[in-house]
Chains A and B, each alone.
Chain A
Amino acid sequence: MKLPQVDGTFIQMEDEIASLGAVVGASLAGVKAMTATSGPGFSLMQENLGFAIIAEVPCVIVNVMRGGPSTGLPTFPSQSDVMQARWGTHGDHPIIVLSASTVRECYDMTIKSFNFSEKFRTPVILLIDEVVAHMREKMVLSDGEGVEVFNRVQPTVPPEWYIPFEDTPSGIPAMANFGEGYRYHVTGLTHDIRGFPTSRPDEIGPFIARLHRKISQHFSEIQMAEFFQTEDADIVIVAYGCVARSAKRAVVEAREKGLKMGLLRLVTIWPFVRSAVEKVLQTSKTLLVPEMNMGQISREVKRVNRGATRVFTLNKVDGTIITPEEILNRIAEVA
């Protein structure tokens, strides 16, 4: 609501499909644009999310997860859109999804989301839960000094030399904004390096491969996780969002009782932080993945685990949070 004060623009579109359409249009015209929604609205955005991926348009989508399916459980916490964020739009595609556990982190991760979207020319999803979204916490903001801001790389060549979707060492082509002399074509169809629709296998294959490569070759930069007392831990909890807060409390309480417990908190949800999980798999005897869904990230953990250690789940889908006690009780059951 403060956007007009700072020469920004806010518009309430007629539906969520339109919201993301307008966001993509605004980004193509050269501004940073975002939208925010919950559950069913996120389902409606999947269509234009795919467009932003194939057309490589930077933008940020905040999805505050709710229990579902359908209208489901509004304004109650859930983590059931982890897989929708990954695979909700049709077709094979890479995606960057970040999460947040605190109010401060919502701020930081929104900036990070924009930086990633501008840098990698891709939509970035900030996936948070109702607890974090409605929480009030004290935070101190700087006047913007020291905040890292990345702006899209723009072409420096003359317009006639500009190839809007060319391959580069980073896999990310320079992006010209509409109205700045570089007239080019943007389409949701598979396209050649000039942006024109193509059905030639020798052009489509490298194009789709580049879309994946521009993310995968920057995994180390994108994948963020926090290790909390995992060095000597026999039991490691893998959690994200508000569940990670309960897990942290559980770790502190367990340590007081002499139990060697640690927390691996996922900040980046997708691409899955495989290396961080592998690290705790090698040192711990038991992993617990508490989630407010029927087991979405735990499947990924088990996939990475490949039988190396014991992985247990704690799932809750009734619209209430997972408490530290519930985590400790579950640990008592399995450890």
Chain B
Amino acid sequence: MAEVTKLIHKYLRHDKKFPHVWCPGCGIGIMLGALIRAIDRIGFEKDEVVLVSGIGCSGRLPVYVDFNTLHTTHGRALTFATGVKLAKPSLKVIVIMGDGDAVAIGGNHFIHAARRNIDVTSIILNNSVYGMTGGQYSPTTPYGMRSTTTVYSNIEQSFKISELAVTAGAVFVGRGTVYHAKLLDSLIEKAILKEGFSVVEVIAHCHTQYGRQNRLGTAVEMMEWQRDRAVNVEKAAAMKSEELRDKIVIGVLVDKELPVYQDEYEKIRERSKGMIGR
């Protein structure tokens, strides 16, 4: 059996839930592949993994995977994940979100989960648009681009998700694209293994909505755009901010140590027990 077939049989609900809902050419499948390869390499038991998602195209990802899967409300995935992790810290909690999910409706939960440094991994598929609901602009739609709700061009500035995560205090932040699949594998693996709140931003294309409305071509052409725009973080360090304006910096942006919420909570537990009766 080919290696990929083994992974499919082991990790996908291949006999239950396929075909999937995603458009042909979508980048979510590449992200899903990277996630499964990372988990397989790490060697987690399927029973100990909890995959949580919000709403949208990316929100549909957990249904296809044979873990404990939880498809929550729009933008709230991190809150449910926080509850799961606190109730059973032995579980490995991974959250899948889209750009609208993570930094529009869920923006508050995102920065606070990062600040709190709870041991949860966030994988955010950033395709710059609300794809499932009809191509409305999202907080990551670049200035000047079109969507069904910015038909004369977007006049808002866009969020940079990874930079937001860094500022909010995430201990690991990595950015990749669905073109750079191998980098994505390693970023997701590192993020999952990192203790604390880790983020992987996955730059992806939505040729069906965003690409069509902005005449960016086919899925392949949009992935070539990702290739042409991507600059590795080491190389970017030597470049001027002017040169980086239209580039996508990929690689590990932050990898630092901070006290992890559950570990700190255990200390509080011990301290509180010393105060019983007082």
Q: Which A residues are within 8 Å of any B CB, using their own CB?
A: 2, 4-5, 7, 9, 11, 13-15, 17-31, 33, 47-48, 51, 177-181, 183-189, 194, 196-197
Contact = CB atoms under 8 A, between A and B. Distances in A.
Given A18-B82, A23-B83, 7 more contacts: A22-B82, A29-B91, A31-B87, A178-B50, A183-B69, A188-B73, A197-B60
A162 B90 CA distance: 23
Contact of B79 (A5, A21, A186, A194): A21
Interface residues of B, number: 43
A4 B268 contact: yes
Contacts, number: 139
A179 B50 contact: yes
A189 B48 contact: no
B72 A9 contact: no
Contacts of A9: 86-87, 265
A51 B72 contact: yes
A5 B86 contact: no
24 contacts: A5-B272, A5-B275, A9-B86, A9-B87, A13-B79, A17-B76, A17-B109, A18-B112, A19-B79, A24-B72, A25-B83, A26-B84, A30-B87, A30-B88, A177-B88, A178-B84, A178-B88, A183-B47, A183-B66, A184-B68, A185-B63, A185-B70, A186-B71, A196-B16
Contacts of B66: 183
Contacts of A26: 83-84, 86-87
B239 to A, nearest CB: 36
Nearest to A32: B87
B46 interface: yes
Contacts of A194: 16
B17 interface: yes
A51 B91 contact: no
Contacts of B249: none
A289 to B, nearest CB: 36
Interface of B: 16-17, 46-48, 50, 52, 60, 62-63, 66-73, 76, 78-88, 90-91, 108-109, 112, 265, 268-269, 271-273, 275-276
Contacts of B63: 185, 187, 196-197
Closest 7 CB pairs of A and B: A25-B83, A21-B79, A22-B83, A29-B87, A25-B80, A26-B83, A26-B87
Contact of B70 (A28, A31, A197): A28
B82 A13 contact: yes
A178 to B, nearest CB: 4
B83 A21 contact: yes
A22 B80 contact: yes
A66 B268 CA distance: 33
Contacts of B62: 185
B22 to A, nearest CB: 14
